[in-house]
Amino acid sequence: MTPTPVSSGQTTRQPATPMAVKARRVEQLTTQTASSLTPSRQRLTHGPTKPTISCLMKKYLVLLATSGIIFPVFVMAEPFPDFPMAFWGTVTINLQPAPAGTLIRAYVSDVVMGQVVTQESGVYGYTGPTKQKLIVGSSSGTIVFSFQNPSLYGGMETKGTVSQTHSPFVSGETINKNLAFAFTEATTLSGGSGGGGGGGGGGSSPSQTSLSTLGALSSKGDANNDGKINVLDFNSLMVNWGKISVEATSDFNNDGRVDIFDFNILMINWSK
């Protein structure tokens, strides 16, 4: 049979060599792989990646806010107060060490801002970070100190003849201040002019009550009744800080308000 001649305008197809077949197969596989990866790349670069991350972040924040991880201090009714000042040092009265059981108070504009009872003769506060100190709440005036002891000055509270003061208030500062009170013996006589003195005698009763009450409170400060006074009791105090007429056990002096006086009681009994 005579072969059909090929016209000059046509190209003769040569049989594919093994190398050509292999190269074409590799090209097809490469194209298929690229096509299959394209949707994934699009998802990574143009898909829902950013919205997904945003949603996850929102869900995470909501989880934190609703799971109790956020400390309860952030939901307090009042803003967190300034840290108080603390005073420590010796105390003398007429050049003699103040007897144990002497009440030392700190006033600002005739308002009691802090008080402490001496545990030993001549010392009202100690240098140790967890030892007793005179804690004074936030104020904007001069701090004036007073003393009271049943055996001195007729048992009445007095600031003495030589004022013991400190200014200004600095939040969180601890001061070593030695107090040196003085008074004249003549002023210790009360009710010396007959019957007129009878009416004045009752004036010291509230202060005497304060002395006995503060002494009884020296064993308090255990807000959660676990037998220890530590950071858990401090946390309870901060959660209830500033609240009035609360039933919380952090109202250590039972005056219906959680304030600097409760903080003072906590510090006195810390780590006991």
Task: Domains for the chain: give ranges and CATH numbers.
Answer: 82-186+206-219 (2.60.40.10), 222-272 (1.10.1330.10)
The pLDDT value recorded for residue 12 is: 55
Pairwise CA distance, residues 87 & 108, whole Å: 15
Pairwise CA distance, residues 38 & 44, whole Å: 10
The pLDDT value recorded for residue 259 is: 80
CA angle 233–238–240, rounded 5-degree value? 100
**Joined tokens for residue 141:** 């005036």
The full DSSP string for 103-122 is: EEEEEETTEEEEEEE-SBTT
Pairwise CA distance, residues 111 & 69, whole Å: 39
* Stretches in the chain below the pLDDT threshold 70: 1-23, 26-81, 185-219, 245-249, 271-272
The pLDDT value recorded for residue 211 is: 46
From 177, 204, 208, 187, select the one nearest 92 (Cα to Cα): 177
